[in-house]
Amino acid sequence: MVEKRNTKAFVEKIVPRVFKAALLVTLVYLPVYFLSALVHPLESFFPWYEPLTNIFTIVFTILLVVGVFVSGTIYQYVLGVARTLVLMLFFIYVLNGGIIALAMPIEGATVSIVIDLRVILAMLVLVCLLGIGKNVVHAIDFVSAKVETEEL
């Protein structure tokens, strides 16, 4: 009887998390899929983009799903920091440190184009650092709330 009650409580706890994880995976994957479809014609200019995006999507999705399953624990915030670090490293790598250089052959001549995106990259990195700070503050709040309830 006790095992049946524990199983029922476990199922009632895990089913909403499974649905939430499935919804979040769908919401993360769809923009990446459509962005890849839009960038596909430009693949000759950005050959590194598509394989890297697939790897990023897989890692980000795994961290997202595991984060949903461990919600309500301190590991939720640890995985939030890891997810934000992955996002920050993805931006740094894809934008090549802020300088993108392209060589385009046009009618027998090669035209070199250099785009300086360091300011945009700096803004993206700062937003990621804010996300890391937010997760750290939430983790501290979680631990302090846990200590306060144990003291009572």
Contact residues for 43 (Cβ-Cβ < 8 A; gap 6+): 49, 50
Range name among 37-46, 96-105, 126-135, 140-149 with the lowest pLDDT average: 37-46
Residue 14 in this model has a pLDDT that exceeds 70 = yes
Query: What's the pLDDT tens digit per position in 57-69?
Result: 888 889 989 989 9
| Of 37, 31, 29, nearest in space to 62 by CA | 29
Q: What is the pTM of this model?
A: 0.78
Domain ranges in the chain? 2-151
Q: Which amino acid is at 63?
A: L
* 118-134 residue pLDDT tens: 999 999 999 999 999 99
What value does the mean pLDDT take over residues 105-110? 84
How distant is the alpha carbon of residue 82 from its chain centre? 8
